[in-house]
Amino acid sequence: MSSFTIDEGAAAPLTVNSTPDLSKDQLLGFPAFKIWLSTLQRSLARQRNASHEFHSAPYVLRKIDIQAVDFFKGGRLGFLKLKAEVSNDKGETLPGSVFLRGGSVGMLLILQPDDIPASSEDGKRVILTIQPRIPAGSLAFPEIPAGMLDESGTFAGGAAKEIQEETGLTIPQDELIDMTSLALGLLGEHEDGETLQKGVYPSPGGSDEKGRRSP
């Protein structure tokens, strides 16, 4: 194990205990970690508001233990498993087992012949890909085209890239619709609410994965 501190954006120096194969620079350069840490720090800072339910005994991020790291081809950091120690001065703790992988995008591609009115359901077909998915125990898993987003990629750019890679189809970015943003816009925003990443969190109890959908 190796240890170092993070000062950027923290109320006090934050101790990180890391595995030998992960350096401080690699960790701070991992978009999923940076987004998770900044989001959590903003949420913790909201406790300073007297109306916050945890104001009288605020929680603090005291330590991060990196438990496992997976690298993709080319040495790019892909998955990160960590334990965040978040507690207050009363000794009360919050669950802090975290699996970081970043955001993802899934595309619902519906094809219909040109000679059929778009308002009709006739002739519509959905494109699925067949992928080996070892976590699901399958070598032929049917799914909609999908992939992970990096920090620099826009939603539309990431979606168009995955569509081309997985189906061979080239679709202009301006023809893609972010269905997740449309749905979130209907929900509205609370003035005093937390500022989270736009997306659907399928398992927020343990993972930062957030998906977005496009037709």
Which residues touch 101 (CB under 8 Å, ≥6 apart)? 32, 78, 79, 80, 148, 207, 208, 209
pLDDT at 186: 53
Q: Is the pLDDT of residue 53 over 70?
A: yes
> Average pLDDT for residues 95-122, to the nearest whole number?
88
CATH number assigned to the domain comprising residue 130? 3.90.79.10
Q: Is the pLDDT of residue 88 over 90?
A: yes
Q: How far apart are CA 145 and CA 166, in angstroms?
A: 6
128/179 same-domain check: yes
- Tallying the residues shown for the chain, one arrives at 215
107/157 same-domain check: yes
pLDDT at 12: 74
Split at pLDDT 50, 70, 90, the class of 77 is very high
Structural domain ending residue among the three candidates 78, 100, 122: 100
**pLDDT tens-digit profile of 187-214?**
545 445 677 777 777 778 888 877 665 5
Q: What is the mean pLDDT of the chain?
A: 86
42/116 same-domain check: no
Domain count for the chain: 2
pLDDT at 151: 56
Higher pLDDT residue, 107 or 214?
107
pLDDT at 5: 92
User: What does pTM read for this prediction?
Assistant: 0.81
16/89 same-domain check: yes
**pLDDT tens-digit profile of 123-149?**
899 999 999 999 999 999 999 988 887
114/171 same-domain check: yes
107/87 same-domain check: no
Q: Is the pLDDT of residue 122 over 60?
A: yes
29/65 same-domain check: yes
Q: How many CB atoms lie within 10 A of CB 152?
A: 8
Structural domain ending residue among the three candidates 63, 84, 100: 100
Q: Which domain holds residue 154?
A: 103-214
122/185 same-domain check: yes
111/206 same-domain check: yes
Burial class (CB in 10 A: 0-12, 13-18, 19+), 191: exposed
Higher pLDDT residue, 91 or 204?
91
Q: How far is CA 63 from the centre of its chain?
A: 22
Q: Return the percentage of the chain with pLDDT > 70, whole number.
A: 87
Structural domain ending residue among the three candidates 100, 130, 153: 100
119/84 same-domain check: no
Q: Is the pLDDT of residue 66 over 90?
A: yes
12/94 same-domain check: yes
